[in-house]
Each structure stands twice: as C-alpha cells, then as structure tokens.
Amino acid sequence: MIIFFKFLIFFAGACLGSFLNVVIYRIPIGMSVVTPRSKCPGCKKSIYWFENIPIVSYLFLKGKCSECDFKISIRYPLIELLCGVVTLVLFLQISSYSQVYFFLFQVSIALIFIALFFIDLDHKLLPDSLNLYLGATLLAYSSFEYSWKYMLMGLLIGGGFPLLITWLFYKLRGKIGLGGGDIKLWAALGIYLGPVDVVHNIFMSCLLGAVVGLSLIAAKIISKENAIPFGPFILVVATLQIFMPDLYAQLKALVV
Ligand SMILES: [Zn+2]
C-alpha cells in the first residue's frame, strides 16, 4: 500500500512534468498553455490522451509519432522523470500531514525553477509571467516564516544590487551585462532568501557562470562572442540554498 502511494505521488509529479513540457514549449512563443490540444509538429495529428501518459507513452511509441515517425525529443520523458523524482523526494521529507502546505509550496517552487531553467537554455529568456508567478509563490511561502521587512529588503536588494552593477558596467563599458530577466529573478528570489542570502546567490552564480563559461570557451565548445544564458546558474545556486542548505553551506565554506 505504501509503495503504491509513493508510486501515485511519483506519477502525479510526472504528470506535472508533462504539463511543464507544454509550459516550456509554449510560454516563450506566446501560446496559451491550455488550448489548443498538443499536435505532432511533423504531421499535425492531435495527440490522444493515451499517447500523453508521462514516460510510458514515450517508451511505448519508441520515441516517435504514431502516424509520421516524427522523432520526439528524449528531453520530454526526462523532464517528466525529473519532476516525478523531485515530487517524491520532497514528499518523503515531510513528517506529518500538517506539513502538506510546505510540500505543495516546495513542489511549486521546484517546478517553476525547472521551467525557467529550460526556457532560458532554449531561448536565453526568463519570461516575466514565470518570474512574477515565482515571486508570488515565494511571497506566500515566506509569509509563514519571515517578517515583511525581511521580504521587502530581500526584494529590493535582490533587484537593486544587480541593477546597479549593470548600470555601472554600462557606464564603464557601454555594454549591457545582465539581462532584465536575471535581475527580476533575483528580485523574486530575494523575497524568500532575504537580503544576505540573495547577495550570496548573486556572487556564487556569477562565480559559477564564469567558471563554466570560461571552461566552455577553453574547451572550444562555445566562442567568446557566444553569450551563455545566465538564469541556469542563478537557479542552480538557489536550488542548493533552498532545498539543500547543508550541502550549500559546505560548498560555500570551500569557496569563501
Ligand atoms: Zn506525426
């Protein structure tokens, strides 16, 4: 019974992952996430519900459209799997049913992180709608724990500090350093992380971005002119800060 219940939680998470695939594909191109029904990009055939069962359908269809053999990206089932695993792991961390609200908030935050991560990788864009949704979720979540002063300071410093750096960089070099989406993401994260940890996030993600970016240039995977999206670095650091604070403290001790 308990195994079955865990499987149900995993499957619910995988279904959310299936919806997240739609969000990741549609939001950056301005499409509604509700209508119309998903179609095969190859032959425009509507996708039936039984072809849309997370992970299972991909395996059953052997990664191809049932009509025209159009190849379905392996990323779709992998995101479904990731969301299923994340939902189950977060569920296993709560010890009583009174903590269900805590679990629901954490799942929402994790899902928005995953959506932002892949949209930024694909389009170098962090949509305002998702940043706003994240900010609202973090505000509701934080209001259980923190004072409004803490949240407001986090928001202002999270948004204001990188804005100031960008402005200075622009004055000195005549170039825009950071994207508006990155700055709005920090502002949203600041609500929960607070004024101190959001500044940590700014430094740590810049450091991580520089290390990864320079390594990719050294390995000739990208050229100097290719800008890599910055959102994923902010999100990786924020994931450690919010979901794995002990690991984050150990990593921080190595750097600072
Ligand atoms: Zn097709």
Give residue-wise pLDDT tens across range 11-28: 999 999 999 999 999 999
CA 234 to centroid of ligand 1, rounded, Å: 37
How many angstroms separate the alpha carbon of residue 54 from the centre of ligand 1? 18
pLDDT band per the 50, 70, 90 thresholds, residue 77:
very high
Tell me how far apart the alpha carbons of residues 101 and 108 are, in angstroms, rounded to a whole number: 11
- Distance (angstroms) between ligand 1 centre and the Cα of 32 equals 21
- Closest CA relative to residue 18, chosen from 30, 10, 28: 10
Q: Ligand 1 mean position to 12 CA, how many Å?
A: 27
Residue 48 CA, ligand 1 centroid: distance in Å: 12
What is the Cα 107 distance to its own chain's centre? 11
Q: What is the C-alpha separation between 87 and 85, in angstroms, rounded? A: 6
pTM: 0.93
Question: CA–CA distance from 241 to each of 134, 233, 246 (Å)?
Answer: 16, 12, 8
Distance of alpha carbon 252 from alpha carbon 144, whole angstroms: 27
pLDDT of residue 36: 86
pLDDT band at residue 49 using 50, 70 and 90 as cut-offs: confident
Query: Which residues, in sequence order, are CB contacts of 12 under 8 Å at separation 6+?
Result: 87
At 48, is the secondary structure helix, strand, or coil? coil
Q: What does the DSSP 8-state code read for residue 220?
A: T
Residue 157, phi-psi category: left (phi > 0), alpha (psi -120 to 50), beta (remainder): alpha
Q: What is the mean pLDDT of the chain?
A: 92
Please tell me the predicted confidence (pLDDT) of residue 1: 65
Q: Which residues contact 184 (CB under 8 A, 6 or more apart)?
A: 126, 128, 131, 159
